[in-house]
Structure formats: structure tokens, C-alpha cells
Amino acid sequence: MKTNRERPAKGSLRRSLGEIWKSEPQSLAMAFGLGALEALIPLLASLLSSLFVDGLEAGRAFGELAALALTGAALLFLLNAAMGKLNRCGLPHTEYCNDLVEWKFCEKNMKMDYAHAEGPEAAALRSKIENDYNWGCGAYFMIPQFQRCCAGVVGSVCALALLLPVFAQGNVWLHWSTPVFAALVAGAVFCSVRSEARMGRKREELKNRFDAKTSRANYLMNRGVTYREGKDIRIYGAQPMIRRALRESEQNRMAAAESRLDCRAGILDGALSGLLLGGAYLFIVLRALDGALTAGSVVLFAAAVYRFSESLKTLSKSWNEIRMNARRMESSFDWLSLPDTMENGGEPVRKEEARGVIELRGVSYSYPGTSTPALSDVSLRIEPGKKIAVVGRNGSGKTTLVKLLCRLYDPDAGEVLLGGKDVRRYDYDEYLHQFSVVFQDFQLLALSLGQNVAGAEAYDAARVTDCLQKAGLGERVRRMQKGLDTPLYRSLDEDGVEVSGGEAQKIALARALYKDAPIVVLDEPTAALDPVSEHEVYNGFRELVGDKTAIFISHRLSSCRFCDEILVFDEGRLVQHGSHDELVADGDGLYHAMWQAQAQYYAEDRGLFA
């Protein structure tokens, strides 16, 4: 992956602005308008002052001067009002644009090939994007930077346009001091722009240097402020480690280094501005004493020189910021362009296919960035409506099998078939609809209980209640004052309910039932349940899943007895399959050994409590 420093700024800039323009063109148009007004208003005020002074000097009538003052005041009022209005209208566009761009990232995260989403490249990009946002980079920041850039361009061009006629007065061009003064202006501007560019580069180098270290500080800080990790942090006394990481965080050192840079830039900037303005005043005074300039021109000249130099500085600073931002936004574009290689055959899944045979033929799979296959040459066949248990040691490939079945990954070799058809031929979303899965690391959201079960805002309340009842949570729901509207967790709602691990697992089970898909997969569905609930789930399992094909992963071998077939995995291979009795009878098999180990444990257990 290219580092930000190596990227050509021009391409990134065009792409970043193009992306903002595509998402919300008004945001850039408004930024341009605001930038132009920001630059024009002080120049207009100076122009009016100069006209006023000239008018006084020329002894114009009071009426004329009053009309000029009124017109000027009205113009300034209108422009300021327009700026206020644009500011108010522009902000929502900027926010909206940011939301759109963020939504693109979020959408990509939800839709990209799952293997990529959990792969190392996506993880690195995610942390980089988060870091960049903390550094003040991204679409949200680019719009005001673009605005300042426009203010710089409009300000310097207009100030120059005001300066030129002053030079034309009384043949100022021809005086010896003019080239001297012009050289002074050119020198000061050149030094100022160069120093700004150097500072910009140094700031970027600083940020690049601190990137990885900041990620760690940010990560720890985020953990520190969420209450979920609070108990582990307390019990294991991790506070000092987090506090130290934050206190000594490279971000602080980065801030110190940045402020040193800013301080040096400020001193140089002040010296150059002083030199430029001092030179300008000296030049004006000399020329005015010669009678070459009117009093109004003196006022205008001083203001325009100041505005010119300030606008150039703004331009140079914002240009550097915008280029750095654009280079950093490349991580976001890299994220958006992570390739999606999963085939989407697009064929509909017909009802009889969805309820057909599931088959794996010679399936192998290795996770990206790993050399040992998680599954090797697995072939199996699951008849429709059968209840299948998958067992094996930790890391033997059981969850990977499930993920391949529901097409979170595609196999590196071999094929997965449903209803006699390679699953890659089906429409991806339709294929996913055929599965209800409770993963071991299932997640619930801080939304209402009903929305969690239905996975949607609108739902059939009677069916949700029925599924919760079947999952063994009926009594608990009845005790909830807001019923299905009860918010889960306190992340977003102070009335939120903190459910226990077992209750959460029951909600996840209810969610799987509510989906009513023809294939049900449960990965350790009772790991967090108490023995009574576990007994209920296993006893009611056939009733729960009905005639659906059901696959469940379990370490509790006694609970596999009621299954039609048991698949035994070891080191990514399917090493045995058959009924419980057949497998127990095979004294050399892994299942027998696992069964013996558990049986012995229960026997000892009985002895212990006898």
C-alpha cells in the first residue's frame, strides 16, 4: 500500500473534490460563495473608506457624502446578510455531504465481501480512516478548507485589482521606489508562501510519523469511555495502563510538536507581515509627500497591500491543508475500492431448491493472510429436514464450515451446493435469505427488543412475542414495562435494559426463529444458558425448528443424541460422521475419545455431589 507521502496530490485532490461534488454539489457551491464574500467584504469596506476620504479631501457636498455612506452601509449590510444566510444554509449541506460520504463507507463495510471485511487490509484501512478523521481530515473538513482556498484566490485577485489603479495615479510606475517596493512585496510573498508550504510538509510528516502510535492511544481511549469494558478494566486494574498511554500518548507529543511548528511559523509570518506593511507605509508616505497619491488612495493602498498578503497566506495555507487532506482521503478511497470478488450468479432461489439437499464437494478454505487451511477437502451431504450436529475441538473448522455454508466466504477449492446447484449461481441476497444463523459471537443492537428480534423497524408484534416465548424469554418480556418497545442496553437510552448473556442468547435465538428461513444454523446455541434453559432448548429443539434443515454446533455431546447425524471435525477435516451410537461404538474414533472425556467428567461430577 502506498503511503500518503508517495501519493500524487493532484489525482487525490481531483478525486476528493469530485466525490464531494457528486455527493452534494451545493456544499462546494456554497463554500465558494462564502469564500468570495469573506474576501470581498473587507475590500469593499476599504474601497468605501478611500472614496469617502477622497470625497472629504475634494470638499464634496454633505448630501453626496451622506449618499455614499448610506450606499456603502447598505451594500455592506446586504453582503453581510448574504454571508450569514449562506453560512446557515451551507452548514446542513456540509453535514449532509459528510453523512453521505460516511454512509458510503458504512454501506461498503456492510456489503463488501465478508472475508475482506474481517481481513487485515480492511482492518488497517479502518484504523487509518479513523485516525485521519481525528487529525481533521475527510470530506467534512475539506469543504471549509475549499472555502478558505476560494477566499484566498478571490481576495488576492481583487486586492491586486484595487492596487493597480493606485499605481497608475500620478505616474507612480515611473518612480524609482516602485520597483524597490515591488521587489519587497514579491520577496515577502515568496518567503511567506514557501514557509507555509514547508510548514505544511512538516505537519504532514509529523502526522505520518505519529499515525500508528495514535491508533493505539485512540483504541485505548475508546475502550476507557465505554461501560462494557468497565468491569474488566476495574478487575484487572488496567486504568493506570490506559491513563499512562493517554498521558504519554503520542497525540500529546504530536500536539506539542505541532504547536512548536506553529510558533515558529507565527514568528516568521509576523516578521514578514511587519516588513511588508512597513515597506508599504514607507512607500505610500514617500509618494503621498511627493503629491502623487490622494489621501483616499493612501487608505486604499495600505488596506489592499495588507489584504493581498493576507489572502496569499490564506491561499497558501488552505492549499497545503487541502492537498494533505486529499492525500489522506485516499485511504477512504482505497477502502471504497476494496475489490468484491464474490460471484453473484443472480439466479433466484426456488422454493424446492431452498428445501433441497446441502452438499459440500472437496471444499477447502484458508483465511486471507494465513497459510494453514481452516478447512481441507471437506465433502458431506445433508438431506432436507435433517437435524445435524457438528462437533470437534476448538479451532477444528466448525464455524468456518457454517460461514462457508451461508456464503460469508467462498471456498478456495471445491463447491457448496444447495438443491443440486453451486451456490455461486444464486442471487447472493436471496441465498442469504435462506439462512437463520445464531453465531457464537452474535450481536444485538441498542434498539428496541422487538426491532432486534425482527431486524427491522416495523414488525409483526404477535409473531415476535411468539418467537420470544419459544426461545424461553416469555416471562422476562412480560416483566418488561415497555414490552417489545423496551430498549436494549443503555448506550442510547437511559431506560435501556441490560440483558444477561443467557437472555441475549435467547433473543438471538428468537431472531433466528422470526426470520423463518428454511435452514437454521446454531453455533453453540446454549453456551450462555442455565441448565434448565439448555434442557428446554434441546428438548424443544425439534419443535422449535420444525421441518427445517438444522445444523448446530455443540461441545455438549449428550445434546447431540437427538440429531440424525453427527459430523466430527478435526484440524479442518471431516474425520467421522454417523449417529451418536455408531460413533460411540467406534472405539478408535475422536468422537469416542471426546465422549469418554465428558462421560468421565460427569461420573466424577456425580461422585463429587453424591
Give which of 380, 381, 307 is closest to 153, Cα–Cα.
Answer: 307
Cell reading at 439: 453465531
Cα(477)–Cα(48) distance, rounded to whole angstroms? Answer: 73
Q: Which of 136/395 has CB closer to ligand ADP?
A: 395
* Residues in CB range of 383: below 8 A, 6 or more apart: 357, 549
Residue 437 CB, shortest distance to ligand ADP, in Å, is 13
CA distance between the termini of the chain: 64
| Beta-strand relationship, 549-553 and 387-392 | parallel
Residue 461 CB, shortest distance to ligand ADP, in Å, is 35
Contacts of ligand ADP in 290-309 (CB under 6 A): none
Q: Are 335 and 129 in contact (CB under 8 A)?
A: yes
Cα(500)–Cα(523) distance, rounded to whole angstroms? Answer: 18
Helix axes 501-515, 531-539, angle to 10 degrees: 20
Contacts of ligand ADP in 163-202 (CB under 6 A): none
Contacts of ligand ADP in 52-81 (CB under 6 A): none
Size of residue set near ligand ADP by CB under 6 A: 12
State the residue for C-alpha cell 505537519: 203
Contacts of ligand ADP in 484-513 (CB under 6 A): none
Q: Are 544 and 461 in contact (CB under 8 A)?
A: no
Instruction: State which H helix or E strand residue 391 sits in.
Output: strand 387-392
Cα(9)–Cα(319) distance, rounded to whole angstroms? Answer: 11
Residue 588 CB, shortest distance to ligand ADP, in Å, is 22
Contacts of ligand ADP in 81-140 (CB under 6 A): 118
Amino acid at 217: A
Residue 514 CB, shortest distance to ligand ADP, in Å, is 25
Residue 214 CB, shortest distance to ligand ADP, in Å, is 25
Residue 47's CB is within 10 A of a number of other CB atoms, namely 19
Q: Which of 309/396 has CB closer to ligand ADP?
A: 396
State the residue for C-alpha cell 493581498: 308
Residue 473's CB is within 10 A of a number of other CB atoms, namely 25
When asked if residue 367 is in the footprint of ligand ADP (CB under 6 A), the reply is: yes
Q: Which of 341/394 has CB closer to ligand ADP?
A: 394
Q: Which of 371/481 has CB closer to ligand ADP?
A: 371
Residue 399 CB, shortest distance to ligand ADP, in Å, is 3
**Candidates 2-10, 102-110, 227-235, 366-374; binding stretch for ligand ADP (CB under 6 A):** 366-374
Cα(46)–Cα(40) distance, rounded to whole angstroms? Answer: 10
| Beta-strand relationship, 565-570 and 573-578 | antiparallel
Residue 533 CB, shortest distance to ligand ADP, in Å, is 22
When asked if residue 337 is in the footprint of ligand ADP (CB under 6 A), the reply is: no
Q: Which of 140/569 has CB closer to ligand ADP?
A: 569
Residue 480 CB, shortest distance to ligand ADP, in Å, is 33
Q: Which of 213/393 has CB closer to ligand ADP?
A: 393
Give which of 593, 571, 590 is closest to 397, Cα–Cα.
Answer: 571
Q: Which of 95/377 has CB closer to ligand ADP?
A: 377
Q: What is the DSSP string of 7-62?
A: S-HHHHHHHHHHHHHHH-HHHHHHHHHHHHHHHHHHHHHHHHHHHHHHHHHTT--H
- Tally the residues of the chain: 610
Q: Are 527 and 440 in contact (CB under 8 A)?
A: yes
Task: Map 224-274 to HEC letters.
Answer: HHCCCCHHHHHHCCCHHHHHHHHHCCHHHHHHHHHHHHHHHHHHHHHHHHH
Residue 581 CB, shortest distance to ligand ADP, in Å, is 24
Residue 4 CB, shortest distance to ligand ADP, in Å, is 27
Q: Which of 90/589 has CB closer to ligand ADP?
A: 589
Cα(560)–Cα(259) distance, rounded to whole angstroms? Answer: 65
State the residue for C-alpha cell 442496553: 489
State the residue for C-alpha cell 457438528: 390
Residue 583 CB, shortest distance to ligand ADP, in Å, is 17
Residue 401 CB, shortest distance to ligand ADP, in Å, is 7
Q: Are 48 and 37 in contact (CB under 8 A)?
A: no
Residue 113 CB, shortest distance to ligand ADP, in Å, is 13
Q: Which of 233/374 has CB closer to ligand ADP?
A: 374
Q: Which of 242/527 has CB closer to ligand ADP?
A: 527
Q: Which of 142/408 has CB closer to ligand ADP?
A: 408
Q: Are 514 and 464 in contact (CB under 8 A)?
A: yes
Task: Map 523-576 to HEC letters.
Answer: ECCCCCCCHHHHHHHHHCHHHHHCCCEEEEECCCHHHHCCCCEEEEEECCEEEE
Instruction: Select the residue interacting with ligand ADP from 88, 247, 341, 370 (CB under 6 A).
Output: 370
Instruction: Select the residue interacting with ligand ADP from 324, 374, 453, 504 (CB under 6 A).
Output: 374
Q: Which of 98/399 has CB closer to ligand ADP?
A: 399
Q: Which of 187/395 has CB closer to ligand ADP?
A: 395
Q: Which of 317/407 has CB closer to ligand ADP?
A: 407
When asked if residue 376 is in the footprint of ligand ADP (CB under 6 A), the reply is: no
Site string for ligand ADP, 386-425 (x = CB under 6 A): ------x-xxxxxxx-------------------------
DSSP-assigned letter for residue 488? B
Residue 120 CB, shortest distance to ligand ADP, in Å, is 9
Judged by the rule CB under 6 A, the positions of this chain that interact with ligand ADP are 118, 367, 370, 374, 392, 394-400
